[in-house]
Amino acid sequence: MNSFFQHFLTELKYIIRNPIYFAILIITPFLLLTVSLMFIPTERALDDISIGVLGEDRTFLGKYLANFILGFLKQENIYKITDKDQALTALDKGEIDGLIVIPVGFTANMLQGNDTYISYIPSSASLLESVTIFKLLRTALGEIEYGAMIEMDMDEKMKPSRDVKVPELRVEGIEHNTLDYPDVMAPGVLAFVILSTMLIGITGSVSREKDKGIIDGFIVTPSSRLSYVLGKYCAHSVLGLVQTISLLLGSIYILNINFEGSILIVGLLLTIGMLTYLSLGLLISVFSPNGDVSMGIAAAIVFLMFLGGGVFFPISQMPKAMQFIAPALPITVLTDVLRKLMIAGKPLGSLLNESIYLFSYLGASLIASLIIFRIKTK
């Protein structure tokens, strides 16, 4: 136990002994979070996005309107839905990325000039794609408002019709969120920023001591390998916990990211993700022969998770090989869980499988780090 505290305190003192350096470690991830949220796509292709259209208005004109929407969009991946319960199940599984619902009495209200609405239900399993559909609908309704429905006077001048009210677009299943790219991307960006700082931080620390020959001392001394590994791990966990709390609170209260669900549960899952990234970085550093190789592997993993973690780019629009790899990455799982909690307000109980996967990844990486370290320092 004394050996553990010695390694823990030594590493912690190295991290915080310079206040400016420690401040940079806290401020830099927040700046990275802010800049990353500016990396927002303006357009996305609809080729790989599945949209369902459910016509609850069973009148003749209501059925005609549903068929008109399907024909107007002219996309092979837009489907006519007849059962709402089946559609909701498909949304949860990500089989469709969004559902457009034409409510009962819609066409009658339109013809009579009454207020009416169109419902949109996003998929919690593919929120990036859902935002694309939402923006498409909002743009289409905006075109109606600014002249898609027109009338002609005696002077043959065309102007927007005031007799037809533009339907309101209502989002179901999300109470407080704006369903826009910054809010939907924020959970993934949080996961990625913590990944990059934690992974590179602990990899650099162990690699530095390896290059100085400090780790070689374990070969000729009876020092506890477990105390060294856990001391390093716990010291960086303290730093990671401070970063996680700072980023989470900053994203909500400074960047004004809309938020659903419990902040404590989200913080807990971010902490689990942070510990998982640390264990992965530790595994890389003890397995690699020197610091250059360690940092090269760490940088490659960060780049892989940047492109393939589903943070900025939907998995459905990635190359086929990447679609196979991406679901197994811890950042993909963490991003998916955080989006379902922060955007869709899903209960933690419905995300049990994803949480178990993160815990398993964390435990496996940490145990593998210790085993490999013991083998290499015999």
Q: What is the DSSP string of 346-369?
A: --GGGGHHHHHHHHHHHHHHHHHH
Express each pLDDT in 292-309 by its tens digit. 888 888 888 888 887 777
Q: Is the pLDDT of residue 54 over 70?
A: yes
CA–CA gap between residue 96 and residue 78 (Å, rounded): 9
pLDDT band at 147 (very low <50, low <70, confident <90, very high): very low
Q: Is the pLDDT of residue 74 over 60?
A: no
* Nearest residue to 179 via CA among 254, 121, 261: 121
Q: Is the pLDDT of residue 89 over 80?
A: yes
Q: Is the pLDDT of residue 98 over 80?
A: yes
* The token pair that represents 267 in the structure block: 């913080």
Tokens 């599945």 sit on residue: 50
**Mean pLDDT of the chain, nearest integer:** 76
Calculate mean pLDDT across residues 268-281.
86
Most confident option among 18-22, 60-64, 69-73, 321-325 = 321-325
* Nearest residue to 12 via CA among 230, 280, 288: 230
Express each pLDDT in 148-178 by its tens digit. 444 444 444 444 455 556 778 888 877 666 6
pLDDT at 68: 64
* Nearest residue to 197 via CA among 246, 231, 265: 246
pLDDT at 158: 42
**Domains assigned to the chain:** 2-36+180-376 (no CATH), 51-171 (3.40.1710)
